A and B are shown apart, each in its own frame.
Chain A
Amino acid sequence: MKAGKTSLIAGIFALGAMPALAQDLAIGLKSEATSMDPQFHQLSTNIQVHKNVFETLTSQDAVQKVGPGLATEWEAVDDTTWRFKLREGVKFHDGTDFTARDVIYSFCRVPLVENSPSPFTIYTASIADMTAEDDHTLIVRTEATNPLLPAELWSISIISADTLGAEEEVVFGPQGTCEGLGDVPQSPAFNSPDVAVGTGPYKLESYTRGSELTLTRFDEHWGGTPAWERVVMRPITSDGPRVAALLAGDVDMIESPPIQDIPRLEDGGFKIVDALSNRIIYLHMRQEEGAPGIEGAGDTNPLMDARVREAISLSINREAIAERIMGGYAQPAGELLPPPMFGSSGRPVDAYDPDRAKELLTEAGYPDGFTITLGTPNDRYINDEQVAQAVAQMLARIGIQVNVDASTASQFFSRRNALEFPIYMAGWGASSGEMSSPLKSLVATFDEKTGMGPTNAGRYSNPAMDEVLLRAMSTIDDAERDSLLQEAGTMVLDDYGIIPLHYEQTVWAMKPELDYEPRVDQYTMATEVKPAG
């Protein structure tokens, strides 16, 4: 019976959609781009769409290794000066030529974008000056040493100075003090294909909010002709209908099918592609006196004791979580970024050892454990609430009674940032693909002035680690930075300052005629979808 139904489904899509496949591609996305302005909202759902239309000076491949983009090569002249050679013969969609002036214009516009919910200025703030040596050579000076500059340049899309009405000469000035920009178009204007002009493999054809986004092939792209003549991207926010759209042949590929539906899709003859992502799911613990939500531990905060933190880590059976709750679509984590990504040390995963955990608790003076509240979102990460429940049961075995406090993402993050949880589960994706990203945000000492530790809601503080990290963040030499980051990461983990659980795996489902090279940054990009074979 099951086989009969499956082959029926397979037969329907084979009959219905085969002819269309040759040139067209339809993708079902789980959320919608909020604007076609590539400098408006720094949000992965926007970025993954913009990457088809706009390009950046550097590129990041599927494992976030930085490579050439619109810049072919670059060098650090000294600690704060970089020289970029720009690619020649690149054209914008409307036929204008790409030069250093467009790059300067693009960086100049970033601070001038109005109403941005999450501005891109976090990547331009470090730039002190930009000048064009000639049309295809660009000099960039930074305020301080910034080894991440090439990686960060991947975030600033290059737009056309001519199309957007800049004057002949564009002169860079920091923080929105550029000259010669003319009248800078604001974000709503970019919803028109006449303004949303980039150098990417696909041109914007139309953008109907809430409904669909259509791209067409840009034949004069410098990298050769892209695979599809036309690409349609449709937001289908609910999981069930998104899977149904793939089954029905409405779309050729979907992102993030729910894990429980994967066996059914595989039975139906669909291809499942998955890859380890750069997103770590971790437990963070409040390491300050006066933490709320802990009972039965006297006046002190037991989480201040490294032995208690180690006990928590040892009591968690990460293999079981990855296998049973994540359906195999996760990998137990030993550090904050999966090896071999930049700055990872290959540290082994903490072994599951409840007996040792119990001993450690006794040594620390909590033979009977204590009661604690674990905060978690219930709609942000894959099966997040179930994972938190499993962690709670595992901790109960060593005597720590856990109340799971699960709430919707918007609630959870506000409460977490207000320090309401003594222990919480959350995730972190390293956008730069480097260990410095999780270290700087999650475990560096919280400091409003220096901008360190913004997401360190455990308020973990290890001045020795901070120092090594700061040194790493101002070291241009890759090998040296790598070893410093490994050192800093090891210091945190030896101290059990944060407890890594697992790396999420990102899943795509598609028709068997397609191929997708999965990306660690979880982006779904039409440019990376190829016909199979």
Chain B
Amino acid sequence: MIVYLVRRAGQSVLAVVAMAVLVFLGVYAIGNPVDVLINPEATQAQIAATTQRLGLDKPLWQQFGIFLGNAIHGDLGTSFVYGRPALDIILERLPATMELAVVALILSVGLGVPLGVWAGLRPHGLAGKTIMGGSILGFSLPNFWQGMLLILVFAVLLGWLPAGGRGQTTEFMGLEVSFLTLDGLSHLILPAINLALFKMSLIIRLARANTREVCLQDYVKFARAKGLSGRRVVMVHVLKNIMIPVVTIIGLELGSMVAFAIVTETVFAWPGMGKLLIDSINLLDRPVIVAYLMLTVLIIVTINFLVDVIYSLLDPRIRLSEMKG
């Protein structure tokens, strides 16, 4: 077991280092930040001074060395645009993105699972077919377009909800959140739906397929034969068993929702990390781009590592085969 963990941790570290190299080289390839940042009226001498101050006059390997050296101490550089540590700026935006992702997750699970189970129980009924048809739409319509449509219908035509922004926020356990005020909540609804639609469709399809499979299992038939109520059969015997794959998916998708809510955040002017990434790319704010991507890599690698560890604890087969390999 220890051997397995050590090997797995080593792989994770390797992945992070490989990503650091790729990210740094990739970012280095896209243009010179000084050309974008500096006022065009600046003279050649002022441009040279700024280039030097940002450390961009050094050769690539040296810049990378400085970056690695600082990164080991937890310093991912100072933002060119904001003049503050890149990591601080990203973490400042994290609560907004987390809130959006969590609400979207609750929506997609809260609606996706019941709808999927219903469709699975009555696959040939009108409701079941409608739900499945709807989930195909949720899958295939581009996220950006969905967002614009939501704005057009609910904000412009009906005027029920605001078109974007975060609205009023209040402090909750030391974090700025918007779901506690009416104004904040009204700002949260549309982007959360936009972010949730795709995941919801995924969960609906997953839940439906599993429900149909589980319904044919002997223990469900036996439960029905025993004369248990339909409600109890669904709530206890079916639901419990379909939740295993659903939970796995939720775990994986939460990471991607936090890291890549970019489209939704841009459409709804939501002040989260994704929007920061887009703005930073446009301004070639290298330290923020690199720090963001490194943070994302770290989050996903960590989640994957934990998932692998949990799997190996749950399933002895994985543990054994890995040990042999």
A-side residues, CB < 8 A to B, are 8-9, 12-13, 15-16, 31-32, 34-35, 40-43, 114-119, 121-122, 186-188, 208-212, 234-238, 240-241, 244-245, 247-250, 409-411, 413-415, 417, 428, 431, 437, 441, 447-448, 451, 454-455
Contacts and interface: CB of A to CB of B under 8 A. Distances in A.
Given A209-B271, A210-B271, A211-B165, A241 B40 contact: no
Contacts of A411: 30-31
A164 B96 CA distance: 32
Nearest to B166: A211
Contacts of B33: 410
B26 to A, nearest CB: 13
A43 B37 CA distance: 8
A121 B46 contact: yes
A118 B283 CA distance: 13
A115 B83 CA distance: 5
**At the interface, is chain A mostly helix, strand, loop or mixed?**
mixed
Contact of B80 (A12, A15, A117, A454): A117
25 contacts: A12-B157, A35-B82, A117-B83, A118-B38, A118-B39, A122-B42, A122-B43, A210-B93, A212-B165, A234-B269, A237-B266, A241-B163, A244-B148, A245-B155, A245-B269, A247-B155, A410-B36, A410-B281, A413-B36, A417-B32, A437-B41, A441-B40, A448-B45, A451-B43, A451-B45
A448 B267 contact: no
Nearest to B81: A34
B112 interface: no
Which of B40, B166, B269, B275 is most buried by chain A, counting CB atoms within 10 A of its CB?
Answer: B269
Contacts of A447: 44
A43 B162 contact: no
A8 B163 CA distance: 17
A115 B78 contact: yes
A193 B163 CA distance: 28
B278 interface: yes
Given A122-B43, A241-B151, A410 B31 contact: yes
What 7 A-B pairs come out closest when comparing CB atoms? A451-B43, A210-B271, A115-B83, A248-B155, A211-B271, A414-B31, A117-B37
B164 A250 contact: yes
Contact of B50 (A13, A117, A237): A117
A184 to B, nearest CB: 14
B80 A248 contact: no
Given A34-B81, A250-B155, A237 B46 contact: no
Given A122-B43, A413-B36, A448-B44, 16 more contacts: A35-B83, A116-B83, A117-B37, A212-B166, A234-B165, A237-B269, A238-B269, A241-B163, A244-B148, A244-B163, A245-B269, A247-B156, A250-B163, A410-B36, A411-B30, A451-B46
Interface residues of B, number: 57
Contacts of B30: 410-411
A174 to B, nearest CB: 16
A411 B267 CA distance: 24
A244 B152 contact: yes
Nearest to B267: A241
Contact of B46 (A122, A437, A455): A122
A250 B47 contact: no
A236 B80 CA distance: 22
B276 interface: yes
Contact of A122 (B39, B53, B272): B39
